[in-house]
Structure 1
Amino acid sequence: MTNHSEPADPIDEPPVTLRMPAELADALPYLLGFRPENSIVLIALHGPHGRFGGRVRLGIPERQEDWPAVAEQLAQCLVSGCERREARPDGVVAYLCQEPGGSAGDASGLSGRQVMERLRPLAQTLRTACGSLDVPVLEAVCISEGRFWTYCCPDQRCCPADGTPLPPAGTSVMAAATAYAGRQVGPDQGKLRARLAPWRTAAVAAQERALHAAAVALVPRILDEGGHDQVAEDTLDLARRLMARLAAAPPRPDPLEADLQDDELLAHDEAAAVILGLQDRTTRDRAAEWMEGTEAKSALRLWRALARRCVGPFHEHAAAPLTLAGWVAWSLGDLIEGQEALTMALIADPHYTFALLLHPVCSADDDPEPIRRILRGERTRREPHVSPAENRDGEEVSELLGGVDHLSSTTPSPTPAPASTGSGVDVGAGAGARAGAEARTDAGVGSTSPSHRRRVRSTARATRPSGAAGTAPRNRRPAVRRGTRNGR
């Protein structure tokens, strides 16, 4: 089988031909821009030469009973996305990527070959799901422990039962073509997740106390019509001040050092106040407008830092900052971080409407500009210095970003959400670093989640942990008083 990648410039970059399963397995990180972990990847093929087209990726569900629904969802997403952007695919290449112990499910402690055998029913389910749409799976590859297996070839003379070693990194034709084009494979998923995963350090206890205190103070006001608007304004004003503080400290080149620096610039009670405030849909929608230019870069740093602080029983609250991080990263052109953050948001809360709306269009690599136009228009309605030509009705924004108020009693219908993409990696110790052997493994596809109203109210009723003092200890910066405003 011959497959061709899509060059950015067909004159300067001639197509790369991939003929063997080994070449297909080696090409995956260059096609995606990163090395996937614990993932299902489907890539469309077009035309008689099998030119690569659209692609979709999702975490491998830990529960095998979830595999059929996920396979159908992925196949439909790939085909509909290709039809919308180009044409119906003529075939599909399927990849299953999982390391032994790469999830909290049955893969723990298995060898690469055993992982491959465990995932064989999933490969067949994917072939069936694609076949039901009249799109055949022409190759299905499992990658584990630096080796690959093909599910489509039973001949052990060319496809041995123990798998075939992947070629050394950077030595293949695809690697050479990628380097020649001036591109590079980005960080693996573990490093991306580590920037967004909850803390696992001694600072967790102080942050959890601050979150409990903020919940007791803010949730009744958010749910009260009389206090809701003021909490929203206070939350956004505080977020703006934190963004300005981050902008005044240029990020360090190393991602770990950059995140540690950002963590040290936020006090526990400041972070807690913004996290709780963002649980309100209208507040979150306004925060989503910080999506362009230098403002967006500071916002992305803030959303990452807040996601890392959603610790302990507040892990579901991470859905809001994770979705905002995914949206802003995508808007800034970082599709990989955008997809990963949105996936993690749906792990935190499988019913989070904003993430459910953004995840499929971001995964399909659609243009975020239509969403940006609507958000610009809503901002223009409140801030006249923004071009009035973009003005849109506020209800349209509400519908686009998830019309369900996540502090109301309404809960969206269950929708399959991305499965856990594996546990994160450690990035060091310190006041804000994540530490420990592994980050937690999250719920898989189809896991249920209480509505935000139940979550917030139960948090507000919770007894403050022993020793809690209303606000957490300051970590280098004094807290901003709730009553102060910055004039914006």
Structure 2
Amino acid sequence: MNKHHESHELPDSHGSRGLPDDDSQITLRDPADLADALPYLMGFHPTDSVVMVALHGRRGRFGGRLRLGIPRSPGEWPHAAEQLAECLVTGSERRGPRPDGIIVFLCQDPDPVGDMTGSHVMEKLRPLAQQLRTACGALDVPVLEALCISDGRYWSYCCPDARCCPPEGRALALPGTSALAAAATYAGLQVRGTLREMEARLTPWPRPAAAAEQERVLAATEERLVPRILDEEERARVGHETLDLAGLLMRRLSGAPPASGRSDGDALDDGLIAHDEAAALVLGLQDRTTRDRAAEWMEGPDAAPALRLWRALSRRCVGRYTEHAAAPLTLAGWVAWSTGDEPAARVALGLALRVDPGCQFAQLLHQACNEGLDPEALRKCLREERAERERAEREACEGRDVCEERAARDEREEWAELERRGPGQPVTSPHRPKPRRKAPLNRKETANRPAGPDGGTQGARPAPRGIRRAGKVGRRDGTGR
């Protein structure tokens, strides 16, 4: 079971009785309205997912939400149900009042291989629905409705009335045709397709030939880069090269013409990035310092091309390099969250934790996004770090310029002094320290010095006039001889 569920906090104004605009509240009266509201609550159509929504107050305002992929093994369902119920209730209590009720959605389409129908899926998931109801009831929070959505239809596990919830289920409303869809569009809420489609933009290439070629280039680049990354001095150079290449590709992506759709746009981005460029970036981003520097492209004109680049690099992590996708996936989730696309951020961060559960950066961002924190605090921190680094680099550059200018000035002064004195004369720059004169040797030191080739003391100073040297130092007489 994937323990990294997605939690979605919704303000009180996004209630089961209304949308953000207080003047145009929408009342959800029956299971059909709830099933139609689910994509707008999540921002996408959840597939293969358990979704739980907390309700508050007498009118049942929507509160916290969470999503988890349906565990494949039914043996994991009881434990998953207890975890989900406890997480939703305790999370709601940390942020506000305790929920007064919970709505459960089980979303799964029939397996395309086989003859299963939506009714079969509904019956298969019935034990999971009952376990979720039991787990919530154990926490004194009732499940007011539990729906199964499959193959374009919905079923209720709670309503016994066959007139509104027949055994064969009811068809979902056509997308965009309900009053809720109109109100959500007016409020600016978007549905980004299905969860499967959103994940496909971030998962490795399904094309065998292209994936095999990319894996070969990744292996060759790894042999060349890893020794440099392990070297302390070369690691910094590799980091600068990685960021320079990322900036180049971002400018290349920004200059590309817009595509008609998501799949067309992704294919266009893939064609603009060569295998060796993608390999160098994927491996270079494994360095934590380089990855954190790349996270500074999170706002303004840098955000859109950076998000396209990180998505494209996530698709290039093929074969045995799947775990390398944690870095670009985390960066993609961070940029999406920073720009206000929380559903896309949760999907990207969830995939990052799926390929590398120990990625601390992804864990922190996933938790902050789930708890509804404002990303501005992290953006401010990254801005300050970038400003401090640029200031230090500027001061270091100015210091080098001063040293070079001083050295050039000294050299000009020496040449000017040489020309003034003429050839053969020593020149001493006023900026150079004068050579130190050796202190004169005393009589004891002179006696201990080894004898020179002429019999005298090697290295000893010549005796002044009037001093007789006949193997030893003489004395002056009274006449000064």
The CA deviation at 1:385 is: 9.4
For 1:377, give the aligned amino acid.
Answer: E
Q: Is the 8 A contact 2:102 2:145 kept in 1?
A: yes
How many correspondences in the alignment? 378
Q: Equivalents in 1 of 2:378, 2:93: separation in Å?
A: 21
Instruction: Mark the CA change 1:225 to 1:182 in structure 2 (over 3 Å): closer, same or farther.
Output: closer
The CA deviation at 1:127 is: 2.4
Instruction: Mark the CA change 1:220 to 1:118 in structure 2 (over 3 Å): closer, same or farther.
Output: farther
Q: Equivalents in 2 of 1:125, 1:55: separation in Å?
A: 18
Aligned to 1:90: 100
Q: Is the 8 A contact 1:115 1:144 kept in 2?
A: yes
Aligned to 2:59: 49
- Point out the more displaced range, 243-252 or 176-185: 176-185
Aligned to 2:171: 165
Out of 304, 310, 333, which is 2:340 matched to?
333
The CA deviation at 1:167 is: 2.8
Aligned to 2:154: 148
Q: Equivalents in 1 of 2:132, 2:298: separation in Å?
A: 36
Q: Is the 8 A contact 2:203 2:315 kept in 1?
A: yes
Q: Does 1:233 align with 2:240?
A: yes
Deviations 1:348-383 (A, max 9, x none): 223322222222332344321222222223223312
Structure richer in helix, relative to its length: 2
Q: Does 1:191 align with 2:197?
A: yes
Aligned to 2:453: none
**Per the alignment, in what secondary structure is the counterpart of residue 67 of structure 2?**
strand
Aligned to 2:388: 381
Aligned to 1:252: 259
Q: Does 1:321 align with 2:331?
A: no
For 2:70, give the aligned amino acid.
Answer: I
Instruction: Mark the CA change 1:174 to 1:204 in structure 2 (over 3 Å): closer, same or farther.
Output: same
- 5+ residue gaps, structure 1, are 387-488
Q: Equivalents in 1 of 2:267, 2:288: separation in Å?
A: 29
Q: Equivalents in 1 of 2:367, 2:17: separation in Å?
A: 23
- Point out the more displaced range, 205-214 or 218-227: 218-227
Q: Does 1:222 align with 2:225?
A: no
Aligned to 2:21: 9
The CA deviation at 1:282 is: 2.2
Larger Rg: 2
Q: Is the 8 A contact 1:139 1:151 kept in 2?
A: yes
Instruction: Mark the CA change 1:272 to 1:68 in structure 2 (over 3 Å): closer, same or farther.
Output: farther
Q: Does 1:67 align with 2:73?
A: no
**Per the alignment, in what secondary structure is the counterpart of residue 145 of structure 2?**
strand
The CA deviation at 1:226 is: 4.2
Q: Is the 8 A contact 1:61 1:67 kept in 2?
A: yes
Q: Equivalents in 2 of 1:218, 1:346: separation in Å?
A: 25
Q: Does 1:176 align with 2:188?
A: no
The CA deviation at 1:5 is: 4.2
Q: Is the 8 A contact 1:207 1:309 kept in 2?
A: yes
The CA deviation at 1:308 is: 0.9
**Per the alignment, in what secondary structure is the counterpart of residue 391 of structure 2?**
coil
For 1:33, give the aligned amino acid.
Answer: G
Aligned to 2:294: 287
Aligned to 1:270: 277
Q: Is the 8 A contact 1:57 1:363 kept in 2?
A: no
TM-score, normalised relative to structure 1: 0.72
Identity %: 60
**Per the alignment, in what secondary structure is the counterpart of residue 205 of structure 1?**
helix
The CA deviation at 1:137 is: 1.6
Q: Is the 8 A contact 1:55 1:364 kept in 2?
A: no
Aligned to 1:468: none
Q: Is the 8 A contact 1:77 1:360 kept in 2?
A: no
For 1:19, give the aligned amino acid.
Answer: R
Q: Equivalents in 2 of 1:224, 1:83: separation in Å?
A: 49
Instruction: Mark the CA change 1:224 to 1:124 in structure 2 (over 3 Å): closer, same or farther.
Output: farther
Q: Equivalents in 2 of 1:119, 1:367: separation in Å?
A: 36
Deviations 1:113-139 (A, max 9, x none): 221122222222322333343322211
Deviations 1:209-258 (A, max 9, x none): 11111222222333343433222222222212221222232533422222
Q: Does 1:297 align with 2:304?
A: yes
For 1:4, give the aligned amino acid.
Answer: S
Q: Is the 8 A contact 2:19 2:184 kept in 1?
A: no
Q: Does 1:122 align with 2:132?
A: no
- 5+ residue gaps, structure 2, are 1-14, 394-481
Q: Equivalents in 1 of 2:238, 2:205: separation in Å?
A: 26
Aligned to 2:216: 209
Name the Cα RMSD after superposition: 2.4
Q: Is the 8 A contact 1:95 1:142 kept in 2?
A: yes
Instruction: Mark the CA change 1:244 to 1:80 in structure 2 (over 3 Å): closer, same or farther.
Output: farther
**Per the alignment, in what secondary structure is the counterpart of residue 134 of structure 1?**
coil
Instruction: Mark the CA change 1:204 to 1:114 in structure 2 (over 3 Å): closer, same or farther.
Output: same
Aligned to 1:36: 46
Aligned to 1:400: none
TM-score, normalised relative to structure 2: 0.73
Q: Equivalents in 2 of 1:375, 1:36: separation in Å?
A: 33
